[in-house]
Structure 1
Amino acid sequence: MTLASSPDTLASGNMRGAALMVAAMVLFALEDTLLKDVATRLPVGEVMMIFGIGGMAVFTGLIKQRNERLLHPALWSRLMLVRALFEIMGRVFFTLSLVYTTLSSTSAILQATPIVVTAAGAIIWRAPVGALRWMLIILGFVGVLMVLQPTSGAFSPLSILAVLGMLGFAGRDLTTRAAPPVLSYAQLGLYGFAALVLSGAGLLIWDGPATLPSALDLAALSGAILVGVSAYTCLTFAMRMGELSVVTPFRYSRLLFGMAMGILAFGERPDTWEIIGGVVIVIAGLSIMLTSSKRKTAAG
């Protein structure tokens, strides 16, 4: 047994990976908080454009450092164009949900993304999904309905924004899995932020006119850019450092941090159904991961 494959080394990598994943989720929740706060003073489209331009600048620097091409020919493939459309859909509706609904409910609904990816993979690519996993997928959707509360007086039509954003991100994740392997994470990041700029420009036409950001707004947006890039970096290293079956479940900690940020920064008070629905979504998602891991282990 080599040192690289020793149990102690593997356990240490898992611990570091889990810690980095939790750190990434904290940073993503902070990014959401900063963007939600700035969007109360500036048009949503303008916020998205500034955030997108900042992200593009960071990833452009990374691409240059790695001696990669800014505009790779694979960018113009049909799959990448579809990915860009899903990216725009996810970014637009998720940001609108942050602005017009609560951070806690938006964070809860976002956790259903892996569940939708699993269901879509089974339908589109005929990935093997047994009866148990289909039951867990349905359970996850029931959790989303608990958060939305469509039959109660607490239901807000604006809650659909988070659902549309979540579906957009699920489509993006699906197409990313099939993206040409010649494209690096830095190139994909650049193209994702470019889609954010384009979608922000479209929103600004509807939500404008643009206003001159204050020094406080620019500071908050700069912080959101730095936090967002740091979160993406932590996420990338976490996925590479530990076992996926151990590290990935810690992504669901974003729900806790999102709700905490909503309570502390905006005085939100998630009701009982929101909390129960969020827990149901997390349980369904974790169970799907667990059954998938067991199936792969048995197959190996």
Structure 2
Amino acid sequence: MSDSVQPAAAVEAGASSNLRAAGIVIAAFAVFSGTDALVKLLSADFRVPQVTFMITLGALFLVAGRALFTRDVGALVPRQPRLALLRALLLAGDTLLIHYAFAALPLAEAYVLAFLTPILVAILAFAFLGERLSLVGWLGVLLGFAGVAVALRPGAVALNFGHAAAIGSALLFALSLVLLRKAKSNESDTALVATLLLVLTFSAFGVAMATGGFDQVTPHALALAALAGALLYAGHALLVRAFRIGDASVVAPFQYSQIVWGCLYGAMLFGAPVETYTIAGGIIIILSGWLVLK
């Protein structure tokens, strides 16, 4: 009797964890989309590397300040320094590549290629973590990508280095997400986020210095950067937690939800119209997430 009950309980616990992880990761991508909107606002007055540096530095100060306030500075030091550093380097490379892709491609094409990440996560989790995704789940992943394509309607153009950069960005982001599943249970979420922000801060600083240095910053811009930094910190903290408690192949497809949040922020802050194609793509994306959870 106990032999049959225990596996059933384990399956139920796993499903509950995936459901909680899905809710957390949806919140994470909503927060990230808010950060992106503030980046767009700041980029009207400053070069992107400077914007990235200001925001990341603000997030890093928040992480360090929280550790000092709670007298838990030790939480900033990862117990798996190699894994934490490798993940941070992957995400730093991801950021640099996607910025290049945004400069070289129409945003629609760059986003579609970047949203290959959930498919790549499912494949990598299957290959390296032994996670099994049902046939319906695989259908959900592919359907989600189709929803992104419907929402963004990418045009057909000749391939260039921008396309390669966007695909490379998706791969590095996918690898960083799969690495989270390799983190030990006693690894601090704070340490993972702090290591990432530290590497990103130095990377953004180097790119900013190599591309023209820094422009004078106004108090208003500093306030926006501080708010974006807070959102960036919260987004990464939520993302880490989601991938620590849920299966990577289940959680990753909810990256598609950024399309919905992007439309909302675009309409509220920039007066961007919500196209019928975007609504249709959003419905397909929601359906894909439901299929993956099944």
TM-score when normalising by structure 1: 0.69
The Cα of 1:23 is off from its aligned counterpart by 5.7
Secondary structure at 1:132 match in 2: helix
- Residues of 2 paired with 1:106 and 1:87: CA distance? 17
Equivalent residue number for residue 192 of structure 2: 188
Give yes or no for contact 2:42–2:221 (8 Å, CA) kept in 1: yes
Q: Does 1:215 align with 2:231?
A: no
For 1:61, which of 47, 60, 65 is the aligned residue? Answer: 65
The answer to whether 1:140 aligns with 2:144 is yes
Q: Which residue of 1 aligns with 2:80?
A: 74
Distance 2:24 2:135 in 1: 34
For residue 257 of structure 1, what is the aligned residue in structure 2?
261
Letter in 1 for 2:89: L
Offset, 1:49: 1.5
Question: Are residues 1:118 and 2:122 paired?
Answer: yes
Change in Cα spacing, 1:25 to 1:219, as seen in structure 2 (3 Å) is: same
Distance 1:217 1:163, change over 3 A: farther
> What is the rounded CA distance, in whole Å, between the counterparts of 2:45 and 2:147 in structure 1?
33
Distance 2:110 2:271 in 1: 15
Confirm or deny: 8 A CA contact 2:256 2:285 kept in the other structure.
no
On the 8 A contact 1:104/1:258 being kept in 2, the answer is no
Q: What is the CA–CA distance in structure 2 between the aligned matches of 1:95 and 1:217, rounded to whole Å?
A: 21
User: Percent identity, aligned pairs only?
Assistant: 23
- Tell me which of 278, 283, 289 is aligned to 2:287: 283
C-alpha distance in structure 2 between counterparts of 1:160 and 1:285, whole Å: 27
Q: Which residue of 2 aligns with 1:3?
A: none
SS in structure 1 at match of 2:80? helix
Q: Distance in 2 between matches of 1:105 and 1:261?
A: 20
Q: 2:45 is aligned with what amino acid?
A: R
TM-superposition CA deviations, 1:152-172 (whole Å, max 9, x none): 79x998677665444332221
For 2:153 and 2:29, the matched residues in 1 are separated by 23
| Residue ranges of structure 2 left out of the alignment (5+ in a row) | 1-19, 246-250
Label 1:110 to 1:264 Cα distance change in 2 as closer, same or farther (>3 A). farther
Query: Of 169, 173, 176, which aligns to 2:173?
Result: 169
Identify which range, 137-146 or 31-40, moves more after superposition.
Answer: 137-146
Offset from partner CA, 1:236-280 (integer Å, 9 cap, x none): 788999xxxxx9998765432211212332343465555544443
Q: In the alignment, which residue of structure 1 is the partner of 2:201?
A: 197
Number of aligned residues: 276
Question: Which amino acid in the other structure matches residue 171 of structure 2?
Answer: L
Counterpart in 1 of 2:154? Answer: 149
The alpha-carbon deviation at position 131 of structure 1 amounts to: 3.4
Name the structure 2 match of 1:7: none
Paired with 2:103 and 2:73, the residues of 1 have a C-alpha distance of: 38
Query: Normalised by the size of structure 2, how large is the TM-score?
Result: 0.70
| Conservation of the 8 A alpha-carbon contact between 2:119 and 2:141 | yes
Give the conservation status (yes or no) of the 8 Å contact 2:75–2:190: no
In 2, Cα distance between equivalents of 1:225 and 1:279? 31
Q: CA deviation at 1:140?
A: 3.2
Shift in Å, 1:221:
0.2
